[in-house]
Chain A
Amino acid sequence: IAGITQAPTSQILAAGRRMTLRCTQDMRHNAMYWYRQDLGLGLRLIHYSNTAGTTGKGEVPDGYSVSRANTDDFPLTLASAVPSQTSVYFCASSETSGGSDEQFFGPGTRLTVL
């Protein structure tokens, strides 16, 4: 693989269920991010990781958790899904969190919570 991948592509989930969205990058980037994108609101940062072993909260972290056990993987977990978490989720990575380093985005996961 080359770049950043996400799984699943789409998912319909019953409210109250637990769900993990997967994200893997092979660019050896230090920083990784999770965003949600909702119509009219743009991309909003959920959680981020500046380097393996560290994570931080973004703008909308409630109801979500992340882990960064290694450089390549950055899973996002919804412990108990609610309908307001219906959204398109994008994972992104960048070489570092500063300078001119652009973020590369995965293809996204479309999640519907019923």
Chain B
Amino acid sequence: GQNIDQPTEMTATEGAIVQINCTYQTSGFNGLFWYQQHAGEAPTFLSYNVLDGLEEKGRFSSFLSRSKGYSYLLLKELQMKDSASYLCAVRGGDYKLSFGAGTTVTVRA
């Protein structure tokens, strides 16, 4: 089975930085994904990590430590449109994705 934990909610100010942590315990590991989901919409892909380290993509960065079962998503220069849920998902040994419950980020002016 898979166990994926992330905080339920976070609030930050426009222009600030927010870090969303994700810890996991899985049977095998074949990569970690982050998705963004706006209210009432479908999830959309943000990032993929399979090796330890930081992957940067514009204002968003994702970090992975396989030995610690830990990842974080860093959102920089927050904008109002970044208010959404952020889903951590782990591809286990069976190549299926298991999702965390998601972290709702609210950006305030």
Contact = CB atoms under 8 A, between A and B. Distances in A.
Given A43-B43, A108-B42, A98 B30 contact: yes
Nearest to A106: B42
Contacts of B31: 99-100
A105 B44 contact: yes
A103 interface: yes
Interface string B24-50: 000000110100000001111100101
Given A102-B33, A105-B43, A45 B97 contact: yes
Contacts of A41: 101
Contact of A48 (B33, B44, B96): B96
Interface string B1-40: 0001000000000000000000000000011010000000
Contact of A90 (B43, B45, B95, B98): B43
Interface residues of B, number: 22
Interface in A21-52: 33, 35, 40-45, 48
Interface residues of A, number: 23
Contacts of B91: 98
Interface string A71-112: 000000000000000000010000001111011111110000
Contact of B45 (A58, A97, A102, A106): A102
A43 B50 contact: no
B87 interface: yes
B87 A98 contact: no
Interface of B: 4, 30-31, 33, 41-45, 48, 50, 87, 89, 91, 95-102
30 contacts: A33-B97, A35-B99, A40-B101, A41-B101, A42-B99, A42-B100, A42-B101, A42-B102, A43-B43, A43-B87, A43-B89, A43-B99, A44-B99, A45-B96, A48-B96, A58-B96, A59-B98, A97-B95, A97-B96, A98-B30, A98-B95, A100-B31, A100-B48, A102-B45, A102-B48, A103-B45, A105-B42, A105-B43, A106-B42, A108-B42
